[in-house]
Amino acid sequence: MTDDRRHELVPCIYLMDKKAVTGFGQKNLFDSGDPVRLAEWYSNHGADRLIVFDFSDSDKAHDEAIDCIREICGASRIPVSAAGNIRREEDIKKILYAGCQEAVLNGSKQSNIELLPKVSSRFGRDRIAVCISDLAEFEENKEIIEANACRLVLLTGDASDFAGKTDLPLILHSDHADEDTIAKVMLAGGATAISGNYVSNPATDLAALKNSLRRSGIVMNRLVSALPFSEFKINDAGLIPCIVQDDRTDEVLMMAWMNEESFDKTLDTGIMTYYSRSRQTLWVKGETSGHYQYVKSLSVDCDRDTLLARVDQIGAACHTGNRSCFYTALAETGNRTANPFRVFENVMDVILDRKEHPKEGSYTNYLFDKGIDKILKKVGEENTEIVIAAKNPNPEEIKYEIADYLYHLMVLMAEKGVTWNEITEELARR
């Protein structure tokens, strides 16, 4: 009997001295050993979640690892869990505040087991997972683990031992798995996810692996359309238009055509695939340029004759090199409602341009010339102005003061090299 729960593929990033390594200090998965680049790769190539194992051996190295984990979470579009060097409640706080969905405690350490009720109560049971070595170790502390954790990570042992023994999802971490053994483990029950070296190797095609496992009768966490292609209204050539939108900014990027084959391939690979009317063949966006579009969602309009794809766009969507194909303005009223995020981005672009190309008489350049202390002084002053304005019954005053504060805050962001994307991603993680 197959497990009807959705199964996942969970690559690991082993973090040592802020580098990604395979296993315990072995050769880098990528020549650069860049864990952030690796997280981005997994996120866009079929992984369902990530586990970061921190191999730091001191508080200083652990804090540096947390900074690196924060960057990993920023690059990843899938949930991230972090394990390793967790000794106290503060370590869990740092991991979760860095953007991780879960902190993974070592179930072999009694001190970690004793920590479970407190951190589960403070941060939520759904933010705490536990690493265990085998079934015996789990059963020794089963009651406290099940009451205070949302997931198990099995480092050794047989996952099938856990079938029927717990309702907690189980990730089997195996450094010796291949496609056949993964299929056997998932069909046997117990494990709802597989981790370890095989699924962590960028050479492993995770999307293809999912499709292969699915054909074996295993329910995988993958893109599935709620409607078959036959339900769409297509033209005489069997095509339907697809509007493509940036998932982060809502910017409309392009329009292309899809047929049933390209639609199915998009679902299978997670990468936008279209049909070229001129070449009469499928084409994967980015196959030549590297400007891939990784699918975040697919929708159909009310008439079912137009698709909308929200994507993570790499580079430019347009063959001209522009971010969007819709860069040529034709007409506008001049009083359109502004996209708030775009307003922030536009103002930041002006501030950054002043920083790069100083302009005589510019107040922004005056602030940059005076330096960080002057900028901080202005931010503090404008913050106080907001407090004063808030006591005034006239709401117009506080709008003005908040706008003034935000401008000075953006000057500070530019000075410190912080972007609005980074701020919004941090807010989204919380």
- In this prediction the pTM is 0.73
pLDDT: which is higher, 344 or 371: 371
8-215 carries CATH number 3.40.50.10190:
no
Residues 156, 157, 158, 159, CA torsion sign? negative
pLDDT at 27 over 50: no
DSSP-assigned states of every residue in 196-220 = SHHHH-TTS-HHHHHHHHHHTT--B
What confidence category does residue 336 fall into, taking pLDDT thresholds of 50, 70 and 90? low
More confident residue, 358 or 331: 358
What is the rounded distance in angstroms from the CA atom of residue 344 to the CA atom of residue 352?
12
Q: What is the pLDDT of residues 119-164, one digit of tens each?
A: 999 999 999 999 999 999 999 999 999 999 999 999 988 899 998 8
Check whether 396 has a pLDDT greater than 90. no
pLDDT at 425: 74
> Quick check: 360 pLDDT over 50?
yes
Is domain 340-429 classified as CATH 1.20.140.10? no
Residue 225 has a pLDDT of 94
Assess whether pLDDT exceeds 50 at residue 24. no
- Does residue 389 contact residue 398 with C-beta atoms inside 8 Å? yes
* DSSP run (H or E) holding 137: helix 135-140
pLDDT band with cut points at 50, 70 and 90 for residue 232: very high
Instruction: Work out the pLDDT band at 257, boundaries 50, 70, 90.
Output: very high
Give the rounded percent of residues in the chain with a pLDDT score beyond 90: 65
Quote the pLDDT of residue 177. 78
CB 149 within 8 A of CB 125: yes
In terms of Cα–Cα distance, which of 430, 418, 343 is closest to 379? 418
Strand partners, 171: 153, 193
Residue 3: band (very low, low, confident or very high) from pLDDT cuts 50, 70, 90: low
Tokens of 29: 């998965």
Q: Please tell me the chain's helix, strand, coil percentages from 3-state DSSP, rounded to the nearest 5.
A: 45, 20, 40
Task: Tell me the two tokens of residue 12.
Answer: 């690991």
Q: What amino acid occupies position 169?
A: P
pLDDT of residue 430: 62
If you average pLDDT over residues 242-266, what whole number do you get? Answer: 94
| pLDDT for the residue 29 | 46
Residue 335 pLDDT greater than 70, yes or no: no
Residue with tokens 């580079």: 315
pLDDT at 404 exceeding the cut of 70: yes
Higher pLDDT, 75 or 263: 263
What's the mean per-residue pLDDT of the chain?
Answer: 89
| pLDDT at residue 394 greater than cutoff 80 | no
User: pLDDT-derived band of residue 26, with 50, 70 and 90 as boundaries?
Assistant: very low
What is the CATH number assigned to the segment(s) 232-313?
Answer: 3.10.20.810
Does residue 279 have a pLDDT over 60? yes
Chain centroid to Cα 379, Å, comes to 31
pLDDT band at residue 13 using 50, 70 and 90 as cut-offs: very high
pLDDT value at 245 more than 60: yes
Lowest mean per-residue pLDDT among 47-51, 372-376, 396-400: 396-400
The whole-number pLDDT of residue 345 equals 83
CB atoms within 10 A of CB 97: 14
Average pLDDT, integer, range 255-259: 98
Residue 247 to residue 316: CA distance in whole angstroms = 14
Q: What percent of the chain has pLDDT over 70?
A: 94
Q: What does the domain layout of the chain look like in residue ranges?
A: 8-215, 232-313, 340-429
Positive or negative CA dihedral for 180, 133, 115, 15?
A: negative
Within 10 Å of residue 143's Cβ, how many Cβ atoms? Answer: 9
Residues whose CB is less than 8 angstroms from the CB of residue 90 and which lie 6 or more positions away in sequence, other chains included: none
> What is the tens place of the pLDDT at every residue in 166-210?
999 999 998 777 899 999 999 988 899 999 889 998 889 999 999
